[in-house]
Amino acid sequence: MGVLAVAGLVLIFAPGLGQVRDDLSRADPGWVALAVALEAMSCVCYVLMFRPIFCPRMPWRTSWEIGLAELGAGSIVPASGAGGLALGAWILSRGGMPAERIANRSVAFFLIKSSVNFVAVAVLGTILALGLVGPELSLVLAAVLVVPRFGVGEPAAADAGKTRKAVAAVRKALVGGTAEAVQLVRSRNGLVIVGSIGYWLFDNAVLWATFHAVGTTPPIMVILMGYLIGQLGGLLPLPGGIGGIDGGLIGTLIVYGAPAAATAAAVLIYRVILFWLPLIAGGIAFISVRRGLNNPDRPELCVVPAAT
């Protein structure tokens, strides 16, 4: 949180950034409010996807609490969502869900959520390349389909070292989770499909709205490609994603032709919304779910129901 505040202060007070400050001061409150609403819809889609992947029989209240708590943790350490999934794994483990299922479904969730980005990069890249076939889609899908064929491997011996046991566990989770991701997608579960696409689409729409808030309307293709490539910065486990996501977004959008000052202002507003809304909602959800652990009045948190 402190790093994000420092980044904002730099933009506000640093010399040579007068145009950025002007764009921020003139930001349209209506468009900013719309951006907040769109980010809220993105969070809703995350929860919609969470429930059928981890436990279809889980009460919706619990799904909301764990899903929002994951998003809140992801605001602090994005790492492409790994930080939030780690928190969710801890909660599910405390609730009684088997560790193997948590590992497999966490991998499946990550792959399904990320696959929308991969597919979008391939499709949009192909369009921008004037009909040239982009390699991203085929490579990613081929990898996802091939990984399960390697098998989970032999379990590590009881007297094996920690490293060997860890490698065996990671391989088992990766192969098992990839197979389950393919199975979940092939099942055509409506919540999984709507949730994964909606999570990505509404997040893009937030950036689109913040550009309108500062009075700039770059082509939608520029916003989409800037978002997709710029989000690679989120893979870095930086506090709040500061420097990784911001730098990637601003640099990519400018390369694709967006005006520099307006881009910096739009991305700053986008990042503030992306940081604070999930963090506040996730913090409230985590407090609620934490209080419910081992509470007889919340049996679904004492023992998470087995999935069908």
Average pLDDT value for residue range 23-28: 84
pTM confidence score = 0.73
Sequence length of the chain is 308
Question: For position 141, what pLDDT does the model report?
Answer: 43
The pLDDT tens digits of the residues spanning 84-135 come to: 888 888 888 877 788 888 888 888 888 888 777 767 666 665 555 544 444 4
C-alpha angle with apex 184: 41 to 170, nearest 5 degrees? 100
Q: Give the integer Cα–Cα distance in Å for 227 and 250.
A: 9
Answer whether 64's CB lies under 8 Å from 278's CB. no
Answer whether 229's CB lies under 8 Å from 264's CB. no
The pLDDT tens digits of the residues spanning 126-178 come to: 555 544 444 444 444 444 444 444 444 555 555 565 565 455 555 555 555 56
CA 80 to chain centre: 6
C-alpha angle with apex 223: 245 to 72, nearest 5 degrees? 40
The pLDDT tens digits of the residues spanning 200-236 come to: 899 999 999 999 999 988 888 888 877 877 776 655 5
Question: For position 2, what pLDDT does the model report?
Answer: 46
- Measured from the Cβ of residue 156, the count of other Cβ atoms closer than 10 Å reads 18
